[in-house]
Copies of this chain bind each other. A is one copy, B any other.
Amino acid sequence: MKLSTRCRYGIHAMFDLAQNNGAGPQTIRSIAERQIIPDQYLEQIIGVLRREGLVVSMRGAQGGYMLARPPSEITIGQLLRLLEGPVFMADCIEDADACVRSGQCPSRLVWGRLTDCINRVLDSITLQDMLEDQVRLCEEGIS
């Protein structure tokens, strides 16, 4: 049970944009270099994020990407659901008709509880929180 690298790359890229928020548009290449991501792959990933309205792009020379909203309004849950697909542990969580037993299936209860817990944790963490975490981690590193 692991995240795909697509999802990790996407979240790293968004964190990078959060760090550079206000510093003008960032190119694919510069993000990819800082975050150590194959740049053509990142292009694909960031395309998804743009189509969903989480980042805005500026084409042409001096173009690049910027967050579409402040870091405090973007949660990891949003990112993960976009990049990894919706969080539901079995088809019957999204669609009760996917299985004839849904109404009386105890595993369905388990998957439901797990899904809720994952979403709750992830929706409670914003990019802003991560920026603050990093400041704290760096200070601890120094002292």
On chain A, the number of residues with a Cβ less than 8 Å from chain B's Cβ atoms is 38
Report the bound CA distance from A3 to B118 in whole Å.
13
Residues of B within 8 A of A60 (CB): none
Residues of B within 8 A of A109 (CB): 130, 133, 137
Q: A1-B80, A8-B90, A87-B1 are in contact. Are A130 and B106 (CB under 8 A)?
A: yes
Number of this chain's copies in the complex: 2
User: Which A residues contact B (CB, under 8 angstroms)?
Assistant: 1-3, 8, 11-12, 15, 76, 80, 84-90, 103-107, 109-111, 113-114, 117-118, 121-122, 125, 130-131, 133-134, 137-138, 141
Name 12 interchain pairs, CB-CB below 8 A, sorted by A. Answer: A2-B90, A3-B90, A3-B111, A76-B110, A103-B141, A104-B137, A104-B141, A105-B137, A107-B130, A109-B130, A110-B122, A118-B118
